[in-house]
């Protein structure tokens, strides 16, 4: 199996590229919360009303030039819904077979619009690396296209109206996914979290709210959406990320220089286990891939490309794994298949 080709068929463009500051930043995400006029928010609206919203989305897709596709969550199986979560195209809460839930996706997997999640419409754009402004530019275009196709709830005083008051105003949530092994190994996670809090930012695990960090990956996003312009939010978060990036690089360099032997040993042991193990949980895989990615980014493992590790961090997730091998797999079979897939991909590079 030509895994490079297969992975790229299944993975969004923001995963198969490194992007700016790609040694520390995995991706940037913009989310705009929008609602339709004259329809109650999803949590209180009738199914009939929500289906009306879904029909509007359908018409929007039909008229758009972007080759969008509307996926109805009730129309696909559970593994496919989970796959959308793992690709970060929908939130975990949106992954249920409800007749009113849908998601519009772009062919490259960089744009998605959740229909009838917490808000009627949640536009999301993902970019590789630290690229919030570009992501926002694209989200803003989609927003204009949506607004031309359907009536969006907007108050001149409060801005965009949203189901949750924390989203009112710009309806903008900007997030950056960071790979911070230097911070974690130096025991500075709590310190960084503290600084985030003071700056009106939130730090979370891999899949957003309520999820634990895995593989030293964190999501940082703005907390407040009201009282600041979009530009201010983006600039504030970008400049904070630039500071974290500098700190992370400094810590990596320090660890590497002060504990060279131990560090090199840990990185290569991780590569050895990934190259030889016959069974592997996704948690263990994330830890080891994180360590090897760090080794590549520090130049300890010259042969490998960092983007391959980034791809593997995504394809090893349960649903995507099943999609890639085209089989339904129980948890134990997944552990075997996951180890096999990683071994095969790494051996294709080594040979």
Which stretches of 20-109 are DSSP H helices? 47-63, 78-86
* Distance of alpha carbon 260 from alpha carbon 254, whole angstroms: 9
* Distance of alpha carbon 128 from alpha carbon 227, whole angstroms: 28
Segment lying near a second copy (by CB under 8 A), choices 35-43, 179-187, 249-257, 277-285: 277-285
Window 303-342: residues binding a second copy (CB under 8 A): 332, 336, 339
Segment lying near a second copy (by CB under 8 A), choices 87-95, 142-150, 183-191, 265-273: 265-273
Do residues 218 and 175 make contact, with C-beta atoms less than 8 angstroms apart? Answer: no
Q: Could you tell me the smallest distance in angstroms from the CB atom of residue 292 to a second copy?
A: 10
- Residue 204-243 contact track with a second copy, rule CB under 8 A, x = bound: ----------------------------------------
What lies within 8 Å, CB to CB, of 213 at 6+ separation is 184, 189, 204, 205, 206
- CB-wise, 2 or 261, nearer to a second copy? 261
For 79-85, the CB contacts below 8 A with 24+ separation are 79/319, 79/322, 79/323, 79/328, 80/319, 80/323, 81/319, 82/318, 82/319, 83/319, 83/320, 83/323, 85/207, 85/319
Binding residue for a second copy, selected from 264, 304, 307, 325, defined by CB under 8 A: 264
271 binds a second copy (CB under 8 A): yes
| Residue 31 DSSP class | E
Q: Could you tell me the smallest distance in angstroms from the CB atom of residue 280 to a second copy?
A: 8
275 binds a second copy (CB under 8 A): yes
347 binds a second copy (CB under 8 A): no
Binding residue for a second copy, selected from 59, 137, 158, 269, defined by CB under 8 A: 269
Segment lying near a second copy (by CB under 8 A), choices 47-55, 153-161, 270-278, 311-319: 270-278
DSSP per-residue string spanning 263-300: HHHHHHHHHHHHHH-S---HHHHHHHHHHHHHHHHTTS
* Distance of alpha carbon 36 from alpha carbon 202, whole angstroms: 28
* Distance of alpha carbon 95 from alpha carbon 81, whole angstroms: 5
5 binds a second copy (CB under 8 A): no
Q: How far are the Cα atoms of 7, 12, 154, 273 from residue 161, in angstroms, in the given order? A: 39, 30, 6, 50
| Residue 151 DSSP class | P
Segment lying near a second copy (by CB under 8 A), choices 54-62, 187-195, 221-229, 269-277: 269-277
276 binds a second copy (CB under 8 A): yes
344 binds a second copy (CB under 8 A): no
202 binds a second copy (CB under 8 A): no
- CB-wise, 104 or 316, nearer to a second copy? 316
Do residues 109 and 14 make contact, with C-beta atoms less than 8 angstroms apart? Answer: yes
Number of residues this chain uses to bind a second copy (CB under 8 A): 18
* Distance of alpha carbon 209 from alpha carbon 223, whole angstroms: 12
Q: Could you tell me the smallest distance in angstroms from the CB atom of residue 330 to a second copy?
A: 12
273 binds a second copy (CB under 8 A): yes
Q: Could you tell me the smallest distance in angstroms from the CB atom of residue 269 to a second copy?
A: 5
Segment lying near a second copy (by CB under 8 A), choices 7-15, 178-186, 214-222, 263-271: 263-271
261 binds a second copy (CB under 8 A): yes
Encoded tokens for 174:
């900007």
Positions in the binding site for a second copy (CB under 8 A): 261-262, 264-265, 268-269, 271-279, 332, 336, 339
């Amino acid at each position: 199996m030509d895994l490079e080709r297969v992975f790229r068929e299944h993975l969004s463009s923001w995963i198969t590229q490194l992007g700016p500051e790609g040694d520390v930043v995995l991706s940037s995400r913009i989310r705009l919360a929008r609602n339709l006029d004259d329809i109650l928010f999803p949590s209180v609206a009738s199914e009939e009303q929500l289906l009306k919203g879904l029909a509007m989305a359908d018409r929007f897709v039909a008229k758009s030039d972007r080759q969008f596709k509307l996926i109805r969550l009730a129309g696909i199986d559970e593994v496919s819904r989970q796959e959308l979560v793992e690709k970060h195209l929908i939130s975990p809460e949106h992954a249920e077979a409800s007749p009113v839930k849908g998601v519009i996706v772009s062919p490259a997997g960089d744009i998605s619009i959740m229909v009838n999640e917490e808000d009627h419409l949640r536009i999301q754009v993902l970019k590789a690396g630290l690229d919030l402004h570009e992501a926002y530019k694209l989200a803003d275009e989609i927003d204009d296209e949506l607004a031309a196709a359907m009536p969006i709830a907007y108050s001149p005083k409060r801005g965009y109206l949203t189901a949750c008051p924390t989203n009112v105003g710009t309806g903008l949530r900007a997030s950056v996914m960071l790979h911070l092994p230097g911070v974690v190994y130096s025991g500075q996670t709590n310190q960084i979290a503290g600084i985030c809090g003071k700056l009106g930012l939130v730090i979370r695990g891999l899949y957003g709210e309520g999820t634990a960090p895995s593989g030293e990956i964190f999501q940082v996003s703005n907390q407040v959406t009201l009282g600041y312009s979009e530009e201010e939010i983006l600039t504030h978060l970008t400049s904070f990320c630039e500071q974290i990036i500098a700190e992370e690089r400094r810590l990596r360099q320090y660890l590497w220089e002060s504990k060279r032997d131990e560090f090199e040993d840990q990185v290569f042991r991780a590569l050895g286990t990934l190259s030889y193990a016959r069974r592997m949980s996704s948690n263990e895989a994330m830890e080891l891939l994180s360590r090897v990615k760090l080794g590549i980014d520090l130049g300890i493992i010259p042969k490998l490309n960092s983007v391959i590790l980034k791809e593997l961090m995504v394809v090893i997730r349960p649903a995507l794994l099943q999609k890639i091998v085209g089989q339904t797999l129980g948890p134990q079979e997944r552990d075997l298949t996951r180890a096999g897939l990683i071994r095969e991909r790494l051996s294709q590079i080594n040979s």
